[in-house]
Amino acid sequence: MTKKTCIAMVPSSGLSHLIPQVEFAKQFLQQHNQFIVSFIIPTDGPLTPSMQQILNTLPPNIDFIILPQVKNLPQHSYEPATKMKLVAKYSVPFLQEAIKSLISKTHLVALISGVFSTDAHKVAKKFNLSSYLFYPSGAFTYSFFVTLPNLDDSVSSETEYLLEPAYETVIVPGSTITLTIEDIPDIIKSERSSILYKSFLDVCKKFSLFDGVIINTFTDLEPEVIRVLQENERESKKPCVYPVGPIIRNESNCEENINLMCLRWLENQQPSSVLFVCFGSGGTVSHEQLNELAFGLELSGKKFLWVVRVPNKVTNSAYFVGEKDDPLEYLPNGFLERTKENGLVVSSWAPQVEILGHGSIGGFLSHCGWSSILESVVNGVPMIVWPLFAEQKMNAKLLIDVLKVGVRVNVDDESGIVKREEVAKSVKRIMEGDESLEIRKRIKELSVGAAVATSEDGSSWKALSSLALKLHSF
C-alpha cells in the first residue's frame, strides 16, 4: 500500500499558537488534499479544555500526537516566550521518537515548526526532512526579528541594552516605520547578558536556518516588506517566504449559550453601531485601568459589547492564571445597571469571529494581537488600538502609521493608564465623524484585498500552491 504524503507540525505551546497552525493546516489541505498533516504537541502539563476541544474536532486528514510532559523547568522559564522555547527544547527527544513513528507509517516530507519550537529544526535535518517555520504574525514583525541578530552583532560588547545608546531607533527592512525602544517587546529590552534576552535572540537566529517561512499575511496588506523579504531570498539564499494569509478561524471555540446571548443582542442593534471590546485570549489590565475603561465606555454614550476579565497588573496573565473570581464583580458600582440599555458585558470569553462578522459591529477596541487584527481586516472593522504585550506595539505602529485603519489610545504620562476621557474620545473618533469614514473606507479596501488574496489564483492561493509543489517534490 502506498504511504500517504505527510507533513508534521510542531506548534509552540498555548492556544494562541495552536489555533493559527490548525487553521493553516485546514486551508492547506482544502486546496491540496493529497497530503495529510500530523500535529506533534509539546507540553509541560495537561492540555486546556479549549486546546483539547480543538484537537478532538480535527478533520480526518489531520491527526495529533501529544508528547510526554516536560518536567522541572528552570526558574527563569516563567516568562512566556522563554517557557515556550524551553518546553519545545526539552521535548526534542520525545519529538524524535514521534518522527520515527510517523516515518514508519507515512511518507513524511516536512516538519513545520512554531516560532518558539525552532529547536525542532535540527530534528528535521537529522531525518532529512524539509524544514519550515510557521510565523503566525505579520511580515513587518518577522522582518524585524530576523534582522535582530545582525543588529545585536553591531552593538559593542560593553553596551548593556540593544537600543541604548548605540541604537536609539531602528528602521525595519521594507518599511518606513521607525521603531523606538518603547515600541519593541519587553524581552528585547532586557540586558543583553540576561537569560531571557539570549533565549529570544537564539530563537531569532534560527529563523534563517529554515528552508522556508510561512507567514500569516497577504501581499496587499504588507506589500513592501514582503517584496524586500523575497528579494533577500533571491539574492542571499535566505529562506523562501510564503505569505499565505489571512488565516483566521471560521468559528469561535466558545460555549453555545454565550454565542446565542451575544448574537441575539447584536441582532437588536443598528448596523455599524456597536463597539466590540476584547483584549484577546490572554490580555488583562489593572483594576484601576478596568475602572477607567468602564467609565470611558459609559461616557462615550455608544453601544458596546465588552469581554471583561479579572484585572491583573500583569498584562498577559490570562494565559497562565485561571479565573476563579467573577470578573463582573470588579466593575464600578452601578455600572451594569447604568449601561444596560447601551451595553452587553460578558465574562472572560465571547465568540469573537462571529461578533466581528456581524453587521451591527462598527469598531473593535483591540490589544493588537495579529489574529485579532486579521479577523478585523477580513470583516472590514476599524480598530481602536490598545497594545499590551509581546509584539503588539509593533503591530499597532503598522496599523496607525502605515495602514491607517484605526486610532490609538494615549496613555497618561503620570499614571501610566488610559484615562476615561481618552477612552470616550477614541470611541467617538472610530464610531462617528469624517475621520471614522476615512478609516472605514481604508479597511474595507483591505477587506476586499484579503478576499482576493485567498481566492483561486490570488496571491496567497499561489503561495500555498508553490509550497505544495515544493513539498511534493521530496
266 in the same domain as 220: no
d(CA 306, CA 347): 9
382 in the same domain as 234: no
Query: Which pLDDT belongs to residue 153?
Result: 81
Query: Which pLDDT belongs to residue 2?
Result: 74
**DSSP three-state, residue 406:** strand
Residue range(s) defining the domain that contains residue 224: 5-140+201-244+453-472
In a domain, residue 186? The reply is no
CB 274 within 8 A of CB 266: yes
**Three cell numbers at 54?**
480543538
In a domain, residue 272? The reply is yes
Domain CATH for 318:
3.40.50.2000
In a domain, residue 399? The reply is yes
291 in the same domain as 217: no
332 in the same domain as 207: no
110 in the same domain as 73: yes
**Cα angle value 40/139/436 (rounded, 5°):** 120
CA atoms within 13 A on the CB side of 441: 6
12 in the same domain as 49: yes
Query: Which pLDDT belongs to residue 319?
Result: 45
62 in the same domain as 72: yes
457 in the same domain as 314: no
349 in the same domain as 427: yes
In a domain, residue 153? The reply is no
CB 109 within 8 A of CB 211: no
Question: What domain count does the chain have?
Answer: 2
CB 34 within 8 A of CB 471: no
CB 73 within 8 A of CB 44: yes
Mean pLDDT by 10 residues, the chain (474 residues): 88 88 96 96 90 93 96 72 90 97 96 96 96 97 93 68 65 87 85 85 94 97 95 81 95 79 96 96 90 98 96 63 76 96 93 96 97 97 95 96 96 94 98 97 98 96 96 80
Query: Which pLDDT belongs to residue 257?
Result: 81
388 in the same domain as 346: yes
217 in the same domain as 348: no
Residues 6+ apart with CB under 8 A from 119: 85, 88, 89, 92, 206
90 in the same domain as 32: yes
Return the closest-CA partner of residue 355 out of 246, 248, 245, 252.
252
In a domain, residue 78? The reply is yes
